Amino acid sequence: MIGCAGSFPAPDSPASCYLIEVDDEAGRTWRVLLDLGSGALGPLQRHLDLREIDAVLLSHLHPDHCVDLCGLYVALRYNPAGRPPRKIPVHGPSDTADRLEAMYGEDEGGRLADIYDVYPWQDGEPVRIGPLTVVPRRVDHPGEAYGLRVEHEAGDRSAVLAYSGDTDACPALVTLAQDADVLLCEAAFTQGRDESRHIHLTGLRAGQVAAEAGVRRLLLTHLPVWTDRTTALADARSAFAGVVLVVSAGANYSV
């Protein structure tokens, strides 16, 4: 958990960024980021050399999920040790390349396309990244937003991480989370306080999705500073009988 604060960085956590590390059959460790939101680039460097990033998977293009790609570009483009040996694949919504260029602005030294290869998600179409298969599903959040199902098979063992991105409850979220080992799920809203729909989940709705999808563990994330952790946890546990935790920046989990 590089960053898990909702909507903007918190005093104790950057915004959304999650590092997946997985070995392939040859023993090579792949390092893939789910989102790279505001404030995440700094603490990310405690865990890897930035040139080791194999891919960045963007759920959507709100700044708390993607803006630190601008800083990553600077770190990779101007590193005196040289650029990475290949461009970093960035998978995201259809206008990802244009949005990143607009956020970064003019640069006489080059363009973000010098460092990134950008690929648009196609709803439901799998993408292969090393030993991982990633399936995006369009979810219920303003703009073009996706939840991601990340699957890894090694011999007779398989593991599934489902990531909600930002979304309200919707059939696509249940589909991508079906029988997942872990559902990393946003719970930004509080039941009874935040009445707007089609934006975010509450702890209760996250628990209901986890129960309907039959997941094994539910990890709650993307809580803004004004959303109480104990309330979100209790609400989720009222709807889901499995393991429920609220994540913290710096924590590690095995899937």
The pair of structure tokens assigned to 199 is 């934006």
pTM higher than 0.75, yes or no?
yes
Q: How is the chain split into domains, by residue range?
A: 18-246
Q: What integer pLDDT is reported at residue 89 of this predicted model?
A: 98
Kindly state which CATH superfamily the domain 18-246 is placed in.
Ribonuclease Z/Hydroxyacylglutathione hydrolase-like (3.60.15.10)
The rounded distance, in Å, linking the Cα atoms of 41 and 35 is 11
Instruction: Mention every residue, 6+ apart, whose C-beta is less than 8 A from residue 107.
Output: none
The rounded distance, in Å, linking the Cα atoms of 116 and 32 is 14
* DSSP assignment letter at 196: -
Q: What integer pLDDT is reported at residue 85 of this predicted model?
A: 87
Q: What integer pLDDT is reported at residue 108 of this predicted model?
A: 78
Q: What integer pLDDT is reported at residue 106 of this predicted model?
A: 87
Assess whether pLDDT exceeds 90 at residue 155.
no
Assess whether pLDDT exceeds 80 at residue 236.
yes
Cα→Cα distances 49→14, 53, 72, 79, Å:
18, 8, 11, 12
